[in-house]
Structure 1
């Protein structure tokens, strides 16, 4: 079906290769450009968290879409921005650079011609994007191998893809989904439905011809039902009017009864409250209005007189308090004067001492003056003059104190007696005023008792209040009489209105054919019976009209309807479409058998080369410990060691199993060199579980692959980066 790739000649690498990667906003990185990458082997070296895995995921995300952020895995979505990245591919044949940029998955990307034409996301992730975890397995290796090998067959399209498309089209032709109206099941169901419609159309035509005869006999019945309906409507409206009027009359009767009951209750309460006046007004009830006014004037006169007596008493008490205060103040001053008299006797003694001291100093000064001529000194003269002057000053001070006047004790006693007499007189005045007030109160009590105000207990204010109560009592008696007359008239009016309502109700019930005392429930039951009759009549009329209308419409539609002809035409059309679908389905089954045979022949020829290359690479990596990779009769992968021991992959050690699947993937990529030629092979630290010797051999295998494809190896181990430079001196080292 195509040419097999020859790996023995000169390496042929794609002119289109990835040159730069730009992380505009991806993960924790932004505005970072990594590159340039060369067409062959590239080693990206950097410590942990430098962005190697992030760079790897960005390449896959730009090509096939960002990972979903709903799962548990890392979606590399920035906290406050959208994921944005670009891949720059250079075409070495013409020097042009194409940017493949992705922002949102829904917006899509624009890629260089043929870059993704023969590869899908699953195949790329399985074969082109290698990690340590991916090297532990190769799920559905037969299917992946077939897709990859046939995609590189050199034909216009992959036979495996063509077979998938044929199977999908067969599935659609046999699908019951509404999206495939031309599928065999849907067309078969549509044909059955249309045949049923044609059959029903024939039956309906026969039934309509039979029902046409019934239509003429329904006219008189419709007229009778309409007449009965009108009569029932009139009777129901009359009964509803009667019920509304009776309800209104019953409300009036109930309201009148309630009003009459309330009026009688008020009358009873008023009668219960009528009786003797309050006991404190018993002696005053017989007073006329004239006597009541005269008594009120007398009370006002007594109040004015009492106010004058109280004022005189208050004035006398104020005078008594004032005179008592003056007396006490003067008594305090008299005590102070006695102290001054005692001080005067003491002053005389002091005056005598001052005079004696004056004479003594005057004598001393005179003696010094007389002695100064004998001593002939000025100082004696000055001392004598000073003593004489000081004696004169002391003598003058004593005389001044002695001449100061001091009041006499007799005068103070006389003034104190006068003031005490005034105090006594004021007290007598207070007692006289109090006696007059008590006499007046006795006179008031006698007056009040004599005029029926004994309950006032001698209080003019209380007597005034009793007169006010007497006035209120007379007013309430007058009001109660008026109310009694009004209630009597109201009761008479209510009784008359109540009788009229009862007579009116009896008359209405008799006219309608009910008993005199027919209840609202009886009238409502009669209305309900009439409404039931009307509903039955209306249902019968509606059913008759419906049947008449339906028959009329059917007969009218039958004359102009083309549904029967359309159903027959559609049925024939569906049968033609079904025949066409069977023809396409036959072609697809023939194509399927041809493609399956072609793929089987291609696998028979191509797969041995894949397993031979994988066996060579595995033997190279394991230094001949494991020499052959093959697929058994059950389609399962197995390996053979140097002593012909056969083992399945899951029984191999971790490192050996990774070396097996790495060999198989490299063999697939070498055998299908035309598939995904412009896409880089991404290897994310896949050599960490290899020992030094096997790591070196695996590095040589990657260098061999780099002769045909662009390989980018990500590692955080400096010895791995150095090893790759050793096995391929032309490798390109990029440090993050």
Structure 2
């Protein structure tokens, strides 16, 4: 997976930021505080979710924008847009879109894109800064431990732990000077038992004599019981033979009858096959006759030219299919034309209905536009008529009021005469002005009233107060009808154009159908077909001609079938063949009966059937009865002897128990045997563990010389390249979860013996190797590194940059840095710049 573009809406100090990345190596340069570490944390959060709301690593937007953004990634098959935005849950809302198909994918698909890489592994191997580079978290990760320290056989078992467990288990079994280990305790118990045995050696020989007698009697009992079982089996076998004697006699008679019948090697189901072949040949003859009637001439299968008929069938089939298609297309086009005509008629009727409704509403004197214009004039005049006294009258009254006030003011002053004259003059002026205004207003009202009556008369309105609103509603309905009529007329024009297209298509299809019929006429002349044959009859003609090759093939097959059966029977006489099959059927019946009888006998005798059959042939029934009586007498004698021996065995056992009460020798012997067996088992276990310990020591020495995990081998090459071969190998001692470094001089060092810069170079090489190994086994993810080269000296810095460029050809790497000197070591097209405000990139 490669990252093509980073788009941030709002994340910490970053806002409205878009960065396009190179497919191999990209360097993002920015000064301190420009948001490089924030950008690294955005990658982590976008893939694995925002941190908790109380965490400082959540990076809420500080400069606007919606919290979150998107990553555009590409795999070998598709391109995806991964978007994470804020939501009620702290981790945010994740959306995954397939940019090739436009489909939205479930959140679980992100885990598939990441190859199941956990967040801890991603932050340890793929997205790390200088602080993480100096830490050993990747060594503490169990998932990465398997890659670092497994022997390379897919195992994460520590042989050091195994060796420790071996030593612990060996010590629990035996120690040279120990007392608690189990084998030490068993040996001590054996010594104690030996001492006790010496103390009871004075036991008399009576006990051992009884023991020997018991063993002798037990052997006799076993021998008698074995002989009794044999006699019982023999007696039972003779009894079964007497029971199945009638079955055996039936088997012998049936076998004799079978031997008397002659044996013929006839084909299986020959009679049925002869009858079927004859019936099939008759059917073929009838089919030839029917085909000849359809074709109009006689047929002789021997003269049928299969190639000609096949070519004719191919051409007729093609013509028939084309004709069927044309008929269907003509029918569909004709139906479309008829449907279009019906729809045109419906639209015309709807338009006529609208015209009638408009005519009823408006009358015949004026059209809609004239009526609407007159109504608007009438409505305007009515509104003006209802308005109160105009503004001029209001101004005059105000002026008069002001004059009277002035007169009153003067009157109350020292000059009373002048005040009287002013008041009188103002009053006369006010009376004159009001009279003039009232006269003009009355004249205007009269003229407006005449105009309203004329307009109402033209519109047919008798009572303005009652009919004005009704007339306005009628006009609104007329306007709606006019618009509906315009829409229907537009639809009618489009439908008539489509109907014209349908009619043209119908004419073209009929012309093509005529050309097809002309081609059929030429075909009839070419193959000399009946002149009255129509294209619609081609299917029947094809059926008649299609059977000819098949009939010829079937006729040959059934004639060969008859010849094969006749040759096997040695005759063509049907009666003789019938007799031969009757004899063969009787033989088969007898053979089946023999098989059933032998199966019944097999159930009685099992694997001893052949011996029983031989005995049946040697003896008759009387001899078997006599032998059965003799065996029963022997069985009775043996049962009596067995009872006597068991009685004697009981007596000796009682005597032995009496003697055992006075001595413990047998108990000690048994206990000693058990302890010896236990000691032998423990010694064997201890020897096996000792052998395993030796093998582990040998494997450890060989492993440290020859084998290391693939990750450490690759890390050794990277580390050697960075340090110019000063350090030649990174390895893990077998069974130990720690790293060792070998110098060019052969000196073995631990990481804590290296300088800080060298340790950073070691852990960087390990991360590159881990990313390479995970890419080989699971998924290839981009590597993001934040200012990790600052502690490298100039030569190692240059070699590290060279290594990163080489790795970038196969594995995408993104380096973030605030050092211009480091950024200048890369190609200009690989560098992206973060501004001081962290809100743009170029």
Q: Shorter chain as normaliser: what TM range?
A: 0.3 to 0.5
Q: TM-score, normalised by structure 2?
A: 0.29
Which structure would you say has the larger Rg?
1
